[in-house]
């Protein structure tokens, strides 16, 4: 809007949240280069779904640039900016987990420009920025012109590259799928037998190089991860250009999960009509008794969420809050869906805990507790919290304040006291927000287990009487406490279990599942792995026999690391 280049980054599902403005930005266009960087997560390494965001390009009429490797990404970002500035139009830069989480050596082509242009002037172009219907209709025409021109003109390297034109068999692959294809045909020694089309602008797919690559082909295979976005477009291109060839795609290449060298190798074999074998001979899994147990993600030693979940469950018993439904959200606390906590029974979208709790409180008579992390609360929980209280829902809102956006790598949020750029700023207290909305708000420090159980039980009593209740559980993320201890030169306490006092009752094992406590092979008494203990003291507070004591008391001021 003001002539300054910009870039916004989010994961694939982030685009869902930004979809409203995304649609409008295609209509409005831009005054300087603008890129939406978004990484999809094929295989769902750490996401609620594996949606294919190339569709967003089609629905919003915004071109999608999609690199084949980290090195490609470096080169293509520049090309994406050029494209954006050439057409005055936003560009989606699509990555995937695999590309974003791979390291590769990149030779910088030039120095990063020293002078950055970060200031501009707002362009008072009302027709562009005020999308009332009259303006929107005009802008739509502009957008469709850009769209068609890109399809017509941009079918060139580095967006589309055709190798070995004129072969009988062609393979079209975009993004990382192309890297797998290139290695697979190389390994087969058949690189020259195929016409290969490397697609780095899958949406809208420029038709000229596709026609060029397929006009002499008898058969073609489209290799793409997830949905048949290329396939649909290629089929249309073939039809529009009167070409009829034997075209394969999702009938051979898997549509679920991540592609890799192995799957692509097998797909190519099938396409070639050869026996589906590979050159590698994997070992079978080891036969062990007991088997190697799965190692699902767990809360870290000292994680405040563990304390809070333990406290909430004991307090619910104490207050006779029978069988509450715990609606959940997305963050480290989602791991509470597992044994022994079961304090997350839904996890669907950012902020969903509160909306779902509101709905359930209307249509069931069960007690409902919405569990939401602090970062998620600031970003997506406040409207829902207003909604519950204003529209007379009845659910406890439990906010887990660990000072950080922990799961995604400790980014600051409005409760951290640091801006997104790392500058000092003030902290927005969650309890003040909830009090202002009209919630009876309780704040606990879950490191103090007994005191917190009493407070939470009191809160549940109030809830049972019909009061709107919020609980803020505040304790720093243990990883940050460990980091701060290191920075401040503080030694944190470490606990140990006295073997002669321990009865093997497992009260420190079964209800809290701390990874720092293990039961050695052949023993019935747990031990604490000193190296992993963060010194939160939860186990010592739950041990009924006072068998868990300090091994090392830590520095006198150790508690500072936790605040």
Partner 1 sequence: MKERYNIILAGVGGQGLLTLGRILGNAAIIAGEEITIAETHGLSQRGGSLIVQIRIGPGESPMIPRGAAHLIIGLEALETGRQIVYANENTKIVMNEFLWPPPLALYPDINQIIEKIRERGLKLYVFNANKLSEELTGSIISANVALLGYTMAIDDELSKRISIEQVDKALEKVFRGKVLEMNRRVLWRAYEEGGKNK
Kindly indicate which of the ranges 13-21, 23-31, 237-245, 433-441 contains the residues binding ligand TPP, using the contact rule CB under 6 A.
13-21
Binds ligand TPP by CB under 6 A, chosen from 13, 65, 316, 547 = 13
262 binds, among ligand TPP, partner 1, none (CB under 5 to 8 A by kind): partner 1
Contact 166, 195 (CB under 8 A): yes
Output the smallest distance, CB 49 to partner 1, in A.
14
282 binds, among ligand TPP, partner 1, none (CB under 5 to 8 A by kind): partner 1
Select from 241, 248, 71, 269 the least CA-distant residue to 173. Answer: 248
User: Is 367 near ligand TPP (CB under 6 A)?
Assistant: no
Output the smallest distance, CB 171 to ligand TPP, in A.
34
Output the smallest distance, CB 333 to ligand TPP, in A.
5
Query: Quick one: 408 or 503, whose CB is closer to ligand TPP?
Result: 408
Contact 157, 199 (CB under 8 A): no
481 binds, among ligand TPP, partner 1, none (CB under 5 to 8 A by kind): none
Binds ligand TPP by CB under 6 A, chosen from 97, 267, 405, 416 = 405
Q: Which residues bind partner 1 (CB under 8 A)?
A: 45-46, 68-69, 71-72, 98, 101-105, 176, 179-180, 182-183, 186, 260-262, 265, 278, 280-301, 332, 334-335, 339-340, 406-407, 479, 509-510, 513-515, 517-518, 521, 529, 531
Output the smallest distance, CB 267 to partner 1, in A.
13
Query: Quick one: 17 or 505, whose CB is closer to ligand TPP?
Result: 17
User: Is 375 near ligand TPP (CB under 6 A)?
Assistant: yes
How far is it, in rounded angstroms, from Cα 205 to Cα 233?
A: 7
374 binds, among partner 1, ligand TPP, none (CB under 5 to 8 A by kind): ligand TPP
Q: Residue 243: CB partners within 8 Å, gap ≥ 6?
A: 211, 214, 215, 237
Query: Quick one: 299 or 472, whose CB is closer to partner 1?
Result: 299
Output the smallest distance, CB 407 to ligand TPP, in A.
3
| Residue 118: both structure tokens together | 């970060």
Neighbours of 487 (CB within 10 A): 9
In the chain, what is the straight-line distance between the N-terminal and C-terminal CA atoms, in Å?
42
How far is it, in rounded angstroms, from Cα 68 to Cα 70?
A: 7
For 36, 87, 90, 204, 265, the CA distances from 81, given in Å and listed in that order, are 11, 10, 9, 17, 34
User: Is 333 near ligand TPP (CB under 6 A)?
Assistant: yes
Burial grade of 21 (CB within 10 A; 0-12, 13-18, 19 or more): exposed
Query: Quick one: 319 or 371, whose CB is closer to ligand TPP?
Result: 371
User: Is 402 near ligand TPP (CB under 6 A)?
Assistant: yes
Output the smallest distance, CB 519 to partner 1, in A.
8
Binds ligand TPP by CB under 6 A, chosen from 11, 54, 89, 394 = 11
For 45, 222, 261, 262, the CA distances from 258, given in Å and listed in that order, are 10, 15, 10, 11
Task: State how beta strands 160-163 and 194-199 pair.
Answer: antiparallel
For 48, 330, 334, 352, the CA distances from 348, given in Å and listed in that order, are 7, 8, 10, 6
Distance of CA 60 to the CA centre of its chain: 22
Binding site for ligand TPP (CB under 6 A): 11, 13-14, 17, 330-333, 350, 373-376, 402, 404-408
């Amino acid at each position: 809007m003001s002539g300054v280049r910009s870039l916004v980054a989010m994961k694939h599902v982030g685009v869902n949240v930004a979809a409203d403005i995304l649609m409008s930005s295609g209509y409005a266009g831009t005054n300087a280069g603008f890129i939406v960087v978004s990484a999809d997560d094929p295989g769902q390494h750490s996401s609620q779904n594996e949606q294919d965001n190339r569709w967003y390009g089609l629905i919003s009429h915004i071109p999608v640039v999609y690199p084949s490797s980290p090195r490609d990404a470096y080169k293509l970002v520049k090309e994406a900016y050029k494209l954006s500035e050439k057409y005055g139009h936003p560009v989606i830069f699509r990555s995937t987990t695999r590309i974003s989480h791979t390291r590769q050596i990149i030779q910088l082509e030039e120095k990063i420009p020293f002078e950055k242009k970060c200031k501009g002037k707002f362009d008072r172009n009302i027709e562009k920025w005020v999308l009332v219907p009259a303006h929107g209709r005009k802008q739509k025409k502009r957008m469709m012109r850009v769209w068609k021109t890109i399809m017509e003109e941009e079918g060139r390297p580095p967006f589309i590259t055709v190798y070995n034109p004129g072969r009988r068999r062609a393979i079209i692959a975009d993004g990382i799928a192309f890297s797998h294809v290139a290695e697979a045909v190389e390994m087969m020694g058949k690189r020259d037998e195929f016409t290969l089309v490397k697609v780095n602008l899958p949406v809208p797919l420029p038709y000229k190089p596709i026609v060029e690559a397929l006009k002499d082909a008898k058969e073609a295979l489209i290799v793409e991860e997830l949905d048949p976005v290329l396939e649909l477009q290629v089929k249309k291109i073939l039809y529009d250009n009167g070409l009829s060839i034997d075209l394969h795609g999702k009938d051979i290449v898997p549509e679920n999960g991540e592609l890799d060298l192995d799957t692509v190798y097998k797909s190519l074999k099938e396409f070639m009509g050869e026996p589906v074998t590979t050159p590698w001979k994997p070992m079978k899994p080891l036969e062990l008794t007991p088997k190697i147990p799965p190692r699902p993600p767990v809360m870290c030693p000292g994680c405040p969420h563990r304390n809070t979940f333990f406290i909430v469950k004991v307090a619910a018993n104490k207050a006779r809050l029978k069988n509450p439904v715990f609606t959940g959200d997305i963050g480290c606390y989602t791991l509470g869906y597992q044994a022994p906590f079961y304090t997350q029974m839904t996890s669907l979208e950012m902020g969903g805990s509160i909306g779902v709790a509101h709905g359930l409180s209307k249509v069931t008579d069960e007690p409902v507790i919405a569990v939401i992390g602090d970062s998620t609360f600031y970003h997506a929980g406040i409207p829902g919290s207003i909604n519950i209280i204003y529209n007379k829902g009845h659910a406890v809102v439990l906010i887990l304040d660990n000072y950080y956006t922990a799961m995604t790598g400790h980014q600051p949020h409005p409760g951290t006291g640091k801006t997104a750029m790392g500058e000092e700023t003030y902290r927005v207290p969650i309890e003040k927000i909830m009090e202002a909305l009209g919630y009876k708000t309780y704040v606990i420090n879950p490191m103090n287990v007994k005191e917190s159980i009493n407070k939470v039980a009191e809160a549940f009593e109030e809830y049972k009487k019909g009061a709107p209740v919020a609980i803020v559980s505040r304790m720093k993320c243990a990883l940050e406490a460990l980091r701060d201890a290191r920075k401040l030169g503080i030694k944190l306490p470490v606990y140990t279990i006295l073997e002669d006092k321990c009865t093997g009752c497992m009260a420190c094992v079964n209800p809290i599942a701390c990874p720092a406590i293990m039961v050695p092979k052949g023993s019935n008494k747990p031990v604490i792995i000193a190296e992993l203990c963060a010194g939160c003291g939860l186990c010592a507070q739950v041990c009924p026999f006072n068998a868990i004591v300090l091994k090392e008391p830590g520095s006198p001021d150790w508690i500072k690391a936790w605040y």
